Amino acid sequence: MALVGMRERQQETVRTMRKTMTAAIVAAAVIAPAAAQGQSWRTVAMSRQLEDNGEVRVFVDYGAGEFTMRSVDDGLLYRMNLKYDEDKFEPIADFSGERLHLGVESLRRNINISRRQSGSLELELARGVPMDLKLKFGAVQADIDLGGLALTDLELSTGASESLINVSEPNPVPMEKASFEVGAAEFTIRNLANLRAEEIEVRAGVGSIILDFDGRWQRDAQIAVKMGLGSMELRVPEGLGVRLQKDSFLTALDSEGLIKRGDVYESPDFDDADYRIEVELHIAFGSVAVVWIR
Amino acid sequence: MYMSQLLHRAFLVLVLAALTLPLGVEGQLRTIVSKSVSASSSRATLAIEFADDGMLKIAFDGGTILVDGDPVGSYEDGDELDTAWRALLGDAMSRENGALARILDGWAPPADLDHDLENAAEAVEDALENALADLDVEAERRDASVSISINNEEGSLIRLLVSAVGNLGGLVKALEGLDENFRIHIDEDVVIPSGSMVEGTLVVIGGSLRVEGEIEGDAVIVNGTLDVRSDGSIGGEARVADTRIVRNTGEIRGGIVNVLEDEREFERELRQELHDEIRAEIRSDVRNEIRNATRFEGDGFSIMSPLRPVIRGVGGVFEKLVGVFILALLGAGFLAFAGENMDAISETARRAPGRAAMVGVAGSFLLVPVWLLGAVALAISIIGIPVAIAWLPLFPLATVIASLLGYVAVARNAGEWMADSSFPWTAWIRKSNPVLTLVGGLLAFSGLFIAGHVLSIAPFLNVLSTLLFIAGGVVTFVALQIGFGAVLLTRAGRRREHYSTYDAEVAWEDAVRRNAEDGLGGDAGTTTGDGSDDA
């Protein structure tokens, strides 16, 4: 009998605790969405005429949302259309001589937003004006066409994003270095040849990366890829000389079409190719696939 | 620098005014180099920047219409003016420079607005027209003296000029509300001789004014000097900006008005603010000095030095008690929502502590390899990458939760053991209350640490307190391993390996079964009428 009584008391105690905790959790769940509701959307269109601009250093900061970028030749230095929550963000559009700073910045330090709650930024930059372009994204779905822009330098830094970058037309000016820093992302760059970069650096944390080396090659290039964890696809046009060097811990390499010579993998026509790229891969965990394109 | 720019601008404007007055002010529009059009539910704003550095900002903001920050009227969301303004901005979004200037210049507010709204609409329309009118002409003579007579028509040239050149600082303030019959002198010294009289307002910019005769109206002096001799008189006010009063022995009927008083006030406020900041900084430094003198930490001399061991010891005890409290809350949560699972884990830890400890140690060693290999296995496929992203933080989190669950389950066992013991200080632990047994166990595990902290108060017992800390660490480690192993063995309590001796129903069924096996009928524990036990 004593055992039965003790068990009943135990169960009663547990029932009381469960009720109390359930009530607390439900209250928190009701209050939290109520506090999170309420957005105040603001739409902004900004633009600036081209003047006698020399090389312009362009900084673009965008925390979260959809981002698109193109070139424009309507006599404008830039045109920007923004949609954002004015309670959380404010637009940036500073131009002083050689420096152009665009985008949005958050009004508070810690802001949690979902894709559904985020806004959008459409940016057009002047064709043919020499630019040192620096793009900095947070959680952004980006669709960028760099074709037509005269880029002397390029830096792209993104956190958790889904980015598609295309260089649809050759860069009118040669570029020394293009660097891409990717956190956790699905990241695709098309027509890398059109960048006319002597050096391309990709640093990625976790994700899926596609580097497409199509386009119009006008110079040899050095490619350095550093990646923590994920899959990488290298799309190489036939006729381009490729030398690939891999330094990895646990990485599977699908090197179809490449011949292993010592520590490196080379395309059969590497020595005779008009243009060559040398790719250094530093990947900890993941897979690398070389895909030939016609 | 500022004054030089001001004079240059003013000069350009005045020369232009003289040139354009007979011809009217319509004509070419200014070049817009930058635009910003923004709209939200409560605001609709246009900001444009001109090639000659001028700017214009018109905002319909929460019921107030602002032109360059100054309120010019009010509106209501969705009224005719608001709708017309938003329609204009909608059109402006897609236009640039010339096309943009034309639609802005050509904008007309809706007809038949009520009086207040009509005034506000006119102010907006005027602001647009005045800002867009191209007033930029080259001036060839900087030493020119220009005298202009301006009629009293509303929206007159002076207003147009002021709007067109942007902020003219002191000059704008100085000219506010004055009679618009001006004689203006720029960059030259002016003397009003004795016996002569000037009608209207006399404006001197960048020069000195000596008054020996009479000025009928006001005198405005910007960036110059004022000298009113004993025979001189000014009928109105003497408005000065950046001006030194050399002498004032005559008569100024309206008195001297310093139009830059606001700026002076601002400077005073700034100075006061700076003063407050410095004072706050000094106070902060003094506070820090006092704090250093009374600090508990550090090796240097402090008046609190003798109390350091006591504070540390008591702080350590308090820290442990807080830890017990937090773990007890966590354990209560586990009991409430995963009581069955916790029973299974406790039972396994009690019945097979050695096996559980070995499994726990092995599991601990395998944690990192499992975490990495799992991530790799998921990451080599595109589909698995999102899962890998979740795996990376969630696996360590699950490990921590499993360790805590195991630890509190073992603590609960320890509490039940203490409840069964005959120690007088464990009488408060009742097996009927799982929370009390849990707290008892947690206190037992922390007891060595608490004792160590208490002993650390006495400096000569440091060795003993260190030994107690080591023993406490060993106990905690063993409890964690047993608990973690029990969690793994029972699949987080979902697979019961042993059954609790305290399960009343099982005990009852066992008793009945044993009675039946012994060949005795009836319910166990039934007594006869004479009180003898059937069993």
pLDDT in tens, B328-341: 999 989 888 888 88
Instruction: Note whether A3 contacts B502, CB cutoff 8 Å.
Output: yes
Q: How far apart are CA A27 and CA A25, in angstroms?
A: 5
With CA atoms as reference, the chain A residue closest to B33 would be: A49
Instruction: Note whether B385 contacts A206, CB cutoff 8 Å.
Output: yes
Instruction: Note whether A6 contacts B431, CB cutoff 8 Å.
Output: yes
- Segment B346-371, tens digit of pLDDT: 888 888 889 899 999 999 989 888 88
Give the Cβ contact number of residue B268 at 10 Å: 10
With CA atoms as reference, the chain B residue closest to A44 would be: B38
**B92 contacts on A by Cβ (under 8 Å):** 45
pLDDT at A263: 85
Instruction: Chain B: give the shortest CA distance to residue A114, in Å.
Output: 17
Nearest to B133 by CA among B18, B9, B6, B13: B13
Give the residues across from A248 on adjacent strands. Answer: A283
| Higher-pLDDT residue of B266, B353 | B353
Q: Cα Rg for chain B, rounded, in angstroms?
A: 45
Q: How many domains does chain B have?
A: 4
Give the residues across from A197 on adjacent strands. Answer: A175
Give the Cβ contact number of residue A210 at 10 Å: 17
**B43 contacts on A by Cβ (under 8 Å):** 42
Q: What is this structure's pTM?
A: 0.50
Contact with chain A for residue B385, Cβ under 8 A: yes
What confidence tier does B26 reach under pLDDT thresholds 50, 70, 90?
Answer: very low
**A231 contacts on B by Cβ (under 8 Å):** 379-382, 385
Q: Are residues B44 and B13 in the same domain?
A: no
pLDDT at B505: 65
Q: Are residues B110 and B172 in the same domain?
A: no
**B380 contacts on A by Cβ (under 8 Å):** 231, 252, 286-287
Amino acid present at B183: R
With CA atoms as reference, the chain B residue closest to A4 would be: B504
Instruction: Chain A: give the shortest CA distance to residue B230, in Å.
Output: 53
Q: Taking 90 as the threshold, does the pLDDT of residue B11 lie above it?
A: no
Size of interface A-B (CB pairs under 8 A): 117
Position B516 in a domain: no
Q: Are residues B491 and B442 in the same domain?
A: yes
The residue behind tokens 């504070």 is B311
Position B510 in a domain: no
**Distances in whole angstroms, Cα of residue A207 to Cα of each of A221, A229, A233, A283, B68:** 24, 7, 11, 12, 49
Q: Taking 90 as the threshold, does the pLDDT of residue B298 lie above it?
A: no
> Which residue out of A11, A229, A248 would a mutagenesis test of the B interface target, given it has the greatest number of B Cβ atoms within 10 Å?
A229
Residue A102 CA, chain-centre distance (Å), reads: 17
Task: Please identify, among B87, B111, B132, the residue that sits at the C-terminal boundary of a domain.
Answer: B132
Q: Are residues B238 and B341 in the same domain?
A: no
Q: Which domain holds residue B32?
A: 28-132
Return the DSSP state at B30. P
| Of B32, B36, B372, Cβ closest to residue A46 | B36
pLDDT in tens, chain A (294 residues): 444 455 555 556 555 555 555 444 444 433 333 344 456 888 999 999 888 778 899 999 998 889 999 999 878 899 999 998 888 888 888 888 789 999 988 876 655 555 556 789 999 999 989 999 999 988 888 999 999 999 999 999 988 778 999 999 999 999 999 999 988 778 999 999 999 999 999 998 888 899 999 999 999 999 999 988 888 899 999 989 999 998 876 677 887 888 888 888 999 988 899 999 999 998 888 888 899 988
Q: Are residues B17 and B37 in the same domain?
A: no
Q: How far apart are CA B393 and CA B389, in angstroms?
A: 8
**Distances in whole angstroms, Cα of residue A233 to Cα of each of A177, A279, A286, A293:** 21, 12, 11, 12
Position B527 in a domain: no
Position B366 in a domain: yes
Task: Please identify, among B132, B148, B174, the residue that sits at the C-terminal boundary of a domain.
Answer: B132
Instruction: Note whether B32 contacts A49, CB cutoff 8 Å.
Output: yes
Position B535 in a domain: no
Instruction: Note whether A42 contacts B35, CB cutoff 8 Å.
Output: no
What percent of chain B is modeled with pLDDT above 90? 15
Instruction: Note whether B379 contacts A6, CB cutoff 8 Å.
Output: no
pLDDT at B154: 39
Contact with chain A for residue B369, Cβ under 8 A: no
pLDDT at B173: 65
Interface of B with A in 87-126 (CB under 8 A): 92-94, 96-97
Contact with chain A for residue B57, Cβ under 8 A: no
- Segment B385-416, tens digit of pLDDT: 888 888 888 999 999 999 999 999 999 889 88
pLDDT at A194: 95
Instruction: Note whether B379 contacts A47, CB cutoff 8 Å.
Output: no
Contact with chain A for residue B433, Cβ under 8 A: yes
| Higher-pLDDT residue of B210, B462 | B210
Q: Taking 50 as the threshold, does the pLDDT of residue B419 lie above it?
A: yes
Contact with chain A for residue B500, Cβ under 8 A: no
Instruction: Note whether A206 contacts B380, CB cutoff 8 Å.
Output: no
> Which residue out of B340, B382, B408 would a mutagenesis test of the A interface target, given it has the greatest number of A Cβ atoms within 10 Å?
B382
Amino acid present at B213: G
Q: Are residues B350 and B283 in the same domain?
A: no
Say which range, B25-34, B286-295, B523-532, has the weakest mean pLDDT: B523-532
Position B518 in a domain: no
Contact with chain A for residue B32, Cβ under 8 A: yes
Say which range, A174-183, B297-306, B464-473, has the weakest mean pLDDT: B297-306
Region of residue B163 (phi > 0: left; psi between -120 and 50: alpha; otherwise: beta): alpha
With CA atoms as reference, the chain B residue closest to A78 would be: B34
Q: Are residues B20 and B36 in the same domain?
A: no
pLDDT at B94: 81
**Distances in whole angstroms, Cα of residue A113 to Cα of each of A102, A118, A180, B263:** 21, 6, 24, 43
| Of A40, A74, A75, Cβ closest to residue B40 | A40
Position B524 in a domain: no
| Of A9, A49, A95, Cβ closest to residue B432 | A9
Say which range, B58-62, B165-169, B522-526, has the weakest mean pLDDT: B522-526
Q: Taking 60 as the threshold, does the pLDDT of residue B16 lie above it?
A: no
Instruction: Note whether B432 contacts A6, CB cutoff 8 Å.
Output: yes
What confidence tier does B155 reach under pLDDT thresholds 50, 70, 90?
Answer: very low
Q: How crowded is the C-beta side of A241, counted as CA atoms within 13 Å?
A: 15
Q: Are B199 and B180 in contact (CB under 8 A)?
A: no
**B32 contacts on A by Cβ (under 8 Å):** 49
Task: Please identify, among B110, B132, B154, the residue that sits at the C-terminal boundary of a domain.
Answer: B132
pLDDT at B474: 93
Q: What is the mean pLDDT of residues B43-50?
A: 89
Q: Taking 50 as the threshold, does the pLDDT of residue B160 lie above it?
A: no
Q: Are residues B340 and B300 in the same domain?
A: no
The angle, 0 to 180 degrees and rounded to 10, between the axes of the packed helices B504-517 and A2-36 is: 150
Q: Rounded to the nearest 5°, which phi and psi values hold at B461?
A: -105, 20
Position B533 in a domain: no
**A46 contacts on B by Cβ (under 8 Å):** 34-37
Instruction: Note whether B380 contacts A208, CB cutoff 8 Å.
Output: no
Q: Are residues B158 and B302 in the same domain?
A: no
Instruction: Chain B: give the shortest CA distance to residue A14, in Å.
Output: 5
Residue A103 host element (H or E): strand A99-106
Q: How far apart are CA B449 and CA B476, in angstroms?
A: 10
Residues of chain A with a CB closer than 8 angstroms to some CB in chain B = 3-7, 9-10, 13-14, 17-18, 21, 40-49, 51, 74-76, 81, 86, 91, 93, 95, 184, 206-208, 229-231, 250, 252, 285-287
Contact with chain A for residue B520, Cβ under 8 A: no
What percent of chain B is modeled with pLDDT above 70? 76
Q: Are residues B369 and B470 in the same domain?
A: yes
pLDDT at A174: 92
Q: Taking 80 as the threshold, does the pLDDT of residue B504 lie above it?
A: no
Contact with chain A for residue B329, Cβ under 8 A: no
Q: How far apart are CA A10 and CA B435, in angstroms?
A: 9
pLDDT at B25: 37
Q: Are residues B314 and B293 in the same domain?
A: no
Give the Cβ contact number of residue B90 at 10 Å: 14
What is the maximum alpha-carbon separation in chain A?
97
Q: Are residues B153 and B280 in the same domain?
A: no
> Which residue out of B29, B31, B32, B37 would a mutagenesis test of the A interface target, given it has the greatest number of A Cβ atoms within 10 Å?
B37
Q: Taking 90 as the threshold, does the pLDDT of residue B250 lie above it?
A: no
Residue B144, both tokens: 């020119």
- Write the CB contacts of B460 (distance below 8 Å, at least 6 apart in sequence): none
With CA atoms as reference, the chain B residue closest to A9 would be: B432
pLDDT at B293: 66
